[in-house]
Amino acid sequence: MKITVDPVEHPSNLTKPAPSQPVEWTLWAALITWLVSVGSLLLASIGAQLGWTAWFYARRAVLPTEADLLGSHSLTLALVLSTFVAHALTLLWCWKVIQMTIPQGFRRALGLDWCQTLWSREGAILGAALLSAPVFLTLGTWLERYVPNAKTDLDRVLALGPSIRLAVASVAAVSAPLVEEIVYRGVLFGALSRRLSTGPAIFLVSALFLAAHIPQYWGGWAGLTMLGLLSLTLTWLRAVTGSVIPSLVLHYAFNGIQAVAIIFFWEWLEASPPTTP
């Protein structure tokens, strides 16, 4: 039996940008993709609200009042689940953009063939990415001791009940990491890294990712600080490996741990007071 061993690379190679993937979509196409990802969330939520309003009218023969809208558990659930529709539309758009510009498609453009075996340097990077997820969550908890951190809109939504928490956790653990990594670390970083050096490209992609999350985390400054550091790490992983796989692993692990906590340990989390009123 012939045994082959991959050569060990010098640790400094991890800090060097990996060979760029064949990105042929333009910067305008990447920026439009970002707008599509944000706009589809807005359009899906509008569609959910219109559908719920029609359902409400069919049942009661009157339009809902502001109190009905603000206090409706079913409307909130519909709005959360509409995120799946937005994510599906965004994935379809990204697939079309990549397929129209690169004949090899997603696999080649996003570096999905980067890791051939787990028993390799690539596998070690994936293991490190997986294990770093609880480190970021611990960092967020530590930051709450020093950075003002009030209840956010997301916290108030999660407090509405178990079904809402299950829906939010499902979005966070199933579709959000995939869509966000393809949009930000895939399409956006791919285009920006052709126009800019690696550092500015990492910063801009991370800033756009953070900006998209500010509305739901407004007031939770410790969480936003941690999220900014996570975004920088995710984009850095994309830059040094030339693949979205490591950032996907970290993102799924990070969201997955939070999803489990939301579903099974919400009462304990809710008992922890914010650092600011």
More confident residue, 19 or 188: 188
Judge whether residue 276 has pLDDT over 90: no
Tally of structural domains, the chain: 1
Q: Which domain holds residue 128?
A: 24-270
Residue 136 within any structural domain of the chain: yes
272: confidence class by pLDDT, cuts 50, 70, 90: low
Distances (CA, A) of 116 to 30, 228, 273: 28, 30, 46
Least confident stretch, 45-59, 224-238, 260-274: 260-274
Judge whether residue 225 has pLDDT over 90: yes
CB 41 within 8 A of CB 83: yes
The alpha carbon of 258 is separated from its chain's Cα centroid by a whole number of angstroms, namely 13
Residue 16 within any structural domain of the chain: no
Q: What percent of the chain has pLDDT over 90?
A: 63
Residue 15 within any structural domain of the chain: no
Residue 9 within any structural domain of the chain: no
Residue 194 tokens read as 């052709």
Least confident stretch, 61-70, 91-100, 183-192: 61-70
Residue 111 within any structural domain of the chain: yes
Least confident stretch, 70-74, 103-107, 113-117: 103-107
Residue 14 within any structural domain of the chain: no
Residue 10 within any structural domain of the chain: no
Residue 45 within any structural domain of the chain: yes
Judge whether residue 9 has pLDDT over 50: no
State the pTM of this model.
0.87
- Which pLDDT value is given to residue 67? 87
Q: What is the mean pLDDT of the chain?
A: 87
Q: Which runs of consecutive H residues, i.e. helices, occur in the chain? A: 27-60, 66-71, 73-101, 106-109, 121-143, 153-158, 162-174, 176-180, 189-195, 198-217, 221-241, 245-264, 266-270
Judge whether residue 176 has pLDDT over 80: yes
